[in-house]
Amino acid sequence: MSDYRLAIVVAWALALAGCNSGGGSSEKAAAGKTAGPLSRARPASGGPTSVMLKAGPPPITFVFSQGGKIRILDETAGRTLVNTTLNPGTIVAIDVKGGVLLGNQKAVAGPLSAEHRYEVWWDAEK
């Protein structure tokens, strides 16, 4: 009887592994909501490590405490809005009316689309 149970458990485990390894449509749908073509792009080996700091619709506001290279993407439109280096402690704000503010400087004039998804990436040196 124990061989029978073992066979059932093994068959069940293989069935689950087969369902999960194919990248089913639910995985693709979930990935599409969290990562677009720009955010899936990874730097070449030996280059900086990209870390997503914030993502979503505006408004987005936070303090970029570590400083360094930063990219702000309009993921919905598939374009880079900002690619620059910031000092530690710079306030980053993405606002529909105000556009993109880095500290007290306007990097991108508003208005921005309220329906778009924006991503803020830190390109950290390895």
Residues 9-48 have pLDDT tens digits of: 445 444 444 444 444 433 333 334 444 444 444 444 456 7
What is the DSSP code (8-state) at residue 111? Answer: P
> How confident is the model at residue 20, as a pLDDT?
42
Do residues 99 and 111 touch, judged by C-beta distance below 8 A? yes
Q: What is the mean pLDDT of residues 99-122?
A: 97
Q: Which residue has the higher pLDDT, 51 or 29?
A: 51
Q: How far is CA 88 from CA 64, 68, 92, in A?
A: 6, 7, 11
> How confident is residue 2, by pLDDT bands cut at 50, 70 and 90?
low
Within 10 angstroms of residue 41's Cβ, the number of other Cβ atoms is 11
SS3 content of the chain, % helix, strand, coil (to 5): 25, 40, 35
Q: Is 104 helix (H, G, I), strand (E, B) or coil?
A: coil
**Burial class, 95, CB count within 10 angstroms (exposed 0-12 / middle 13-18 / buried 19+):** middle
Strands 68-74, 118-124: pairing is antiparallel
Per-residue model confidence (pLDDT) at position 119: 97
Report residue 8's pLDDT band, with 50, 70 and 90 as the boundaries: low
What is the per-residue pLDDT for 125? 78
pLDDT at 100: 98
**pLDDT, tens digit, 9 for 90 and up, residues 52-93:** 999 999 999 999 999 999 999 999 999 999 999 999 999 999
